[in-house]
Amino acid sequence: MTRDVRSSLTIDASGPVRLVLAIAVAEGQRVKETLAVTQDGQPVEVHELSEEHGGRLHSCDVTQGRIEVSYSATVDGRAEPALFDPLDEIRYLRPSRYCESDTLLAVAAAEFEGLASFELLAAVSSWVGTRLTYDGASTDPTDGAAATLLSRRGVCRDFAHLVVALLRALDVPARVVAVYAPGLEPMDFHAVAEAMIDGQWWVVDATTLAPRQSMVRIATGRDAADTAFLTSIGADIQLVSMEVVATADALAEDDVRAPVQLG
């Protein structure tokens, strides 16, 4: 499978600021890529930083003005499945800022009593997918899983947060993954959930908006706080425009109840 991905950002900075980008595909994939950052037409020096789980951050320092970011990559084949780390069983069972699993203990126990393993994973993903309405205008960036459950609306990150929180409440390690998602409509950076079953990570997408088999990992973490595509440190910035494109030479028919590993 060959996938072509690209993204571009236009940013206005009000003063000196460090920008941290999480838009490059994760390590462990055969990639040909380019990344360019310019300010007022002049190239900006970019430094790469490695994150856990193969994520790559790109950091640059800019001043007041307009910044253009352009990234493109061709990914050939599929990456090896994410490795098991004993610490993951602890790290991804804990409640986090946007995945308040402790708050949702009673809901999880009442809705999924008696289920386990892949049956539980499919049930949680289906439950979230059928009870939430995808609505790009309904969510606030600071909303967590509990607020999403109450509003019954959200975008991909909200679906993923609720899946992760419910699974953690049931003692299943779970985390959020930012991906490029060929076939996604509307096209954007996408968020899905990964759950650890039998010592391996399996991906679910409660939105069912794109086939999991064609997704490309960007960043992995406890929730959206760990996987944001843009972080700024310093002066205020404004995201003027953003474009994301992801295509594949073939899109699979995704059986939403079948176990799939992100590659």
pLDDT tens, residue by residue, 19-30:
999 999 999 887
Residue 256 lies in a domain: no
Whether residue 237 is found in the same domain as residue 191: no
Closest to 58 (Cα-Cα) out of 229, 244, 242, 236: 229
Whether residue 154 is found in the same domain as residue 73: no
Residue 257 lies in a domain: no
pLDDT, tens only, 250-261:
898 899 889 999
Residue 73 lies in a domain: yes
Q: Given this model, what pLDDT does residue 80 score?
A: 83
Query: Which residues of the chain are under the pLDDT cut of 70?
Result: 138
Residue 221 sits in which domain range?
A: 88-227
Cα–Cα distance between 197 and 219 in angstroms, integer?
A: 20
Whichever domain contains 28, its CATH number is 2.60.40.2250
Whether residue 99 is found in the same domain as residue 201: yes
Q: Given this model, what pLDDT does residue 232 score?
A: 97
Whether residue 205 is found in the same domain as residue 167: yes
CA separation, residue 29 to residues 56, 59, 218 (Å):
12, 21, 11
Residues present in the chain in total: 263
Q: Given this model, what pLDDT does residue 151 score?
A: 94
Whichever domain contains 97, its CATH number is 3.10.620.30
> What pairs with residue 96 in β-bridges?
99
Spacing of C-alpha 81 from chain mean position: 16
pLDDT, tens only, 144-195:
999 999 999 999 999 999 999 999 999 999 999 999 999 999 899 999 999 9
Pairing of strands 30-39, 42-43: antiparallel
Which pair of structure tokens corresponds to residue 251? 């899109």
Whether residue 48 is found in the same domain as residue 94: no
Number of domains in the chain: 2
Cα 126–175–21 angle (5° rounding)?
A: 120
Whether residue 21 is found in the same domain as residue 144: no
Whether residue 181 is found in the same domain as residue 162: yes
Whether residue 70 is found in the same domain as residue 121: no
